[in-house]
Structure 1
């Protein structure tokens, strides 16, 4: 159920966010305790600030009130994706080539469910990482999530 809500919300809000020169990075619809949260993660070159989040929140609130894709009450949060930004779209895998990323899988691949390595790119629907001196090609169908990792 939540999955289709995330898709409906994306269809409604992404054009509004793009009009403001911003990118919709991710949509999360999640229940925490007794409350539902709709979280929108936005970004732009150089990062987003509080004004960007506030402007998007107002524009998106009006559109969601009008189209009403979510049956229950929820809290809307708009923020930056942070330093460990998720990689979702094909363009993300192109844009962040060479960066350190972590990939978590639904099921083990070559005996592991977690890989951290330097992103080589997306090739034939596989995420290619430089991992412990070798290239690993992980089928995207096994991937639960991939995000930028912090280097220390």
Structure 2
């Protein structure tokens, strides 16, 4: 089974628990093989319980469909608050998030992702909706900003 087929199998499995696949990577750390899967729950926060449930569903599937995987560690996690976006799917799952992008001409931009469709995104930069083609973006990541309370309660 190749990576694309595995992604489709994971997407279908996660769909059954109202989650979606964010990313998947085969890694080697020290001498250990790792299959790292990032997910997003669509109707609730992606909690540790959600990741555990996904792990319990995915692990036996890998045993059946990827018997060549031996002595590996399966890691299932949320996609995280701050993350790199490199695939169209990453942008689609990040609508409403604040992005920082470095363009191919090395310009740095920042805005809220309003729309992601195919190979184009729309960023709201200081009230102005601006379209960008994904090919214009060299690097993109989500930025999480803590909001400050205007009138914090005194303890």
* TM, length-normalised to structure 2: 0.70
Q: Secondary structure at the match of 1:83?
A: coil
**Aligned pairs, number:** 141
Q: Secondary structure at the match of 1:111?
A: coil
Larger Rg over CA atoms: 2
* TM, length-normalised to structure 1: 0.71
Aligned-CA RMSD value: 3.0
Corresponding residue number in structure 2 for 1:18? 15
Q: Which residues of 2 match residues 58-137 of structure 1 at below 5 A?
A: 58-68=56-66, 71=69, 73-85=71-83, 88-89=88-89, 91-92=92-93, 96-97=95-96, 99-103=97-101, 109-112=104-107, 114-122=108-116, 125-131=119-125, 137=131
Q: Secondary structure at the match of 1:148?
A: strand
Aligned equivalents of 2:72, 2:109: Cα separation in 1: 34
The structure-2 alpha-carbon separation of the partners of 1:46 and 1:147, relative to structure 1 and needing over 3 Å to count, comes to: farther
Aligned equivalents of 2:65, 2:127: Cα separation in 1: 50
Structure 2's unaligned 5+ residue stretches are 147-155
User: Deviation at 1:86?
Assistant: 5.3
Runs of 4+ aligned residues of structure 1 deviating over 6 Å after TM superposition are none
> Is residue 48 from structure 1 mapped to residue 46 from structure 2 by the alignment?
yes
Structure 1's unaligned 5+ residue stretches are none
Residues 95-134 of structure 1: per-residue CA shift (max 9 Å, x gap)? x24x311235xxx52333x543222323672233344776
